[in-house]
A and B are shown apart, each in its own frame.
Chain A
Amino acid sequence: MTPIAITMMIIAILTVWGGLAVALLNLKRHPEDEGALPEEHAPEL
């Protein structure tokens, strides 16, 4: 591969997958507030 293609590939992967990693980290830092949730199976099931 050419250097410019490699560079762009790395930038693409870093921005998009990096964005995903940040989004996942943010979610992990704020766990679900299970206490406030109604926990009931729908009766038709």
Chain B
Amino acid sequence: MSSPSSSSAEPVKRETFSTRRLFILSAIGSAVGLGNIWRFPYIAYDNGGGAFLIPYLVALLTAGIPLLFLDYAVGHKFRGSAPLAYRRLHRAAEPLGWWQVLVCFVIAAYYAVIVAWSLMYTIFSFTEAWGDDAEGYFFGTFLKVSEAPGVGFNYVPSVFFPLLLIWTVVIIIMVAGIRKGISRANSILLPLLMVMFLLLVVQSLFLPGAAEGLNAFFTPDWAALADPSVWAAAYGHIFFSLSVGYGIMVTYSSYLKRRTDLTGSGMVVAFSNSGFEILAGIGVFAALGFMAQAAGAGVNDVVTQGIGLAFVAFPTIVSQAPLGALMGVLFFGSLVFAGVTSLISVLEVIVAAVQDKLGWGRVRTSLVVSGLVAAVSLALFPTATGLYLLDTSDAFVNSFGITLGALVTVVVLAWFLRKLPLLSAHLNRTSTIKMRGAWMVLVAGVVPLALIYLVFNEFISKISATYEGYPEWFVGLFGWGMAGGLVVLALVLTFIPWSRKSKAHHDPEYQSMIDEDEAEAAR
């Protein structure tokens, strides 16, 4: 800035990732999360084992990567947070951005809680605090889960305080901004995660029974390929795993410099994410093979995913394995690091949006926004009923926030606004891997078809029986009500006018880019 007095007339320049490498690291940090570690291994095992590789790769290439590039193109071309980028694409598209922001609000609030549990379990690993009853310890002693779902304010200090600590660390990262906060956190945590996870995998492979676990994981069941639900599982997993369709990649790519190889960078991000998943499958199933052998059971008897895998099966393995404490620290530490790097990307979607809408500075926005999400997270989740709320909001925000939101976004962009040729041209302007007709066919055809199938299945399964047998009012309020409320609130936020200081009204930097692009096109 040439003079300090120009701040109101000339908005501050948009921050950028200082190098392509830092963008790639941050995008990988976002994509690699808890799902890669605790979801993928089970999904692959349950859907054909080794044969799952085929639908998985097909889904990655025909839906995951094309959708990732769609996000990149929108964020990079229109250089804004999700609501601003979609608004610049077309005024009518702004609510899509706010919907994604609100989805991120819900995810951030509960995701941090799981990171907090993982932090406590990293410490518990030293003493094997769960004794010989990992399940009873987790649900009873640690979470103090109440008998029935409900809303209570019966706080559990052993969850509340670690959660407070996680939020404090995350808020510091957010306040520091893209370069000093997010880039730096990812450039430290991601390599650390890779090293720790590799050590974990190596340790698991040396456990007795590991080979049996890997047999269970990799033996192909070719008949599974004829089952549509296996293909749906592959597409569903790819959508969640790559963090596409809910604003994260739009936001991150808006911080990229103008001439950037979008698709070349994106390929590295996508294959790193998948590479990590394969590694997680090997590590998790080697460990499960050991667990099965120790219990004198088959691998199919001990296999599990999600919370059950991380907080019941793994503690059991830690208790039985040689150098178990080390293994626990590596596993739960990996969950913490993978979780934090994803959490900050989810939060950035909200921070960037509010910053754009109100024209506030980085520090103020980060403090207010992250503080608000932290307050909601701390008020609702570290309670005796928090687990029910977490489970319900996770299930509904995934189905009717992320998946349905991605479907609506793709259909609006491809079919109603017909922006794919424009976005394709933007991708090809500076990228090494060109996205032309085939990309448009995938984004306008394959992606929406897969998403329609997924949303339809979710709708049928959630409407045919009350989710998990929880009380109807509870699922109605925190499941359906929350998911519907996000759409309504997204419309409300769209109608709130953008601040006079906002970049939506005055953004010389963006304007000069449009001028440059037009000059280049005219040449």
| Residues 1-45 of A at the B interface (beta carbon under 8 Å) | 1-2, 4-6, 8-9, 11-13, 15-17, 19-20, 23-24, 26-27, 29-30, 32-33, 36-45
Query: Which residues of the partner chain A approach B264 to less than 8 Å between Cβ atoms?
Result: 23, 26-27, 30
Q: Which residue of A lies closest to B216 (CB)?
A: A5
| B46, CB-defined interface residue at 8 Å | no
Q: From DSSP, what is the main secondary structure of chain B's interface residues?
A: helix
| Residues 29-50 of B at the A interface (beta carbon under 8 Å) | 49-50
Query: Which residues of the partner chain B approach A40 to less than 8 Å between Cβ atoms?
Result: 13
- On whether the beta carbons of B12 and A42 are closer than 8 Å, the reply is yes
Query: Which residues of the partner chain B approach A1 to less than 8 Å between Cβ atoms?
Result: 211, 214-215, 218
- On whether the beta carbons of B271 and A19 are closer than 8 Å, the reply is yes
The digit string for B48-88, where 1 denotes a CB below 8 A from any CB of A, is 01110100010000000000000000000000000000000
- On whether the beta carbons of B219 and A5 are closer than 8 Å, the reply is yes
- On whether the beta carbons of A15 and B20 are closer than 8 Å, the reply is no
- On whether the beta carbons of B268 and A42 are closer than 8 Å, the reply is no
Q: From DSSP, what is the main secondary structure of chain A's interface residues?
A: helix
- On whether the beta carbons of A12 and B215 are closer than 8 Å, the reply is no
Query: What's the Cα separation between A1 and B274 when bound, in Å?
Result: 23
Query: Which residues of the partner chain B approach A17 to less than 8 Å between Cβ atoms?
Result: 271, 275, 278
| B16, CB-defined interface residue at 8 Å | yes
Candidates B12, B257, B272, B278; contact of A44 at CB < 8 Å? B12
- On whether the beta carbons of A42 and B275 are closer than 8 Å, the reply is no
Query: Which residues of the partner chain B approach A6 to less than 8 Å between Cβ atoms?
Result: 218
- On whether the beta carbons of B219 and A26 are closer than 8 Å, the reply is no
- On whether the beta carbons of A27 and B278 are closer than 8 Å, the reply is no
Q: What is the number of residues of chain B that contact chain A, defined by CB distance less than 8 Å?
A: 48
Query: Which residues of the partner chain A approach B12 to less than 8 Å between Cβ atoms?
Result: 42-44
- On whether the beta carbons of A13 and B271 are closer than 8 Å, the reply is no
| Residues 179-229 of B at the A interface (beta carbon under 8 Å) | 179-180, 211, 214-215, 217-220
| B15, CB-defined interface residue at 8 Å | yes
B270 to chain A, nearest CB (A): 8
- On whether the beta carbons of A16 and B259 are closer than 8 Å, the reply is no
Q: Which residue of A lies closest to B431 (CB)?
A: A30
Candidates B49, B271, B362, B433; contact of A42 at CB < 8 Å? B362
Query: What's the Cα separation between A12 and B16 when bound, in Å?
Result: 36
| B258, CB-defined interface residue at 8 Å | yes
Given known A-B contacts A15-B57, A20-B268, A45-B180, A37 and B218 have beta carbons under 8 A apart: no
B14 to chain A, nearest CB (A): 8
- On whether the beta carbons of A27 and B265 are closer than 8 Å, the reply is yes
| Residues 240-292 of B at the A interface (beta carbon under 8 Å) | 257-261, 264-265, 267-268, 270-272, 274-275, 277-278, 282
Taking Cβ atoms with an 8 Å cutoff, the residues of A that contact B are: 1-2, 4-6, 8-9, 11-13, 15-17, 19-20, 23-24, 26-27, 29-30, 32-33, 36-45
A-B interface, 3 closest residue pairs, ranked by CB to CB distance from nearest: A8-B50, A20-B271, A23-B267
Taking Cβ atoms with an 8 Å cutoff, the residues of B that contact A are: 1, 12-16, 18-20, 49-51, 53, 57, 176-180, 211, 214-215, 217-220, 257-261, 264-265, 267-268, 270-272, 274-275, 277-278, 282, 361-363, 432-433
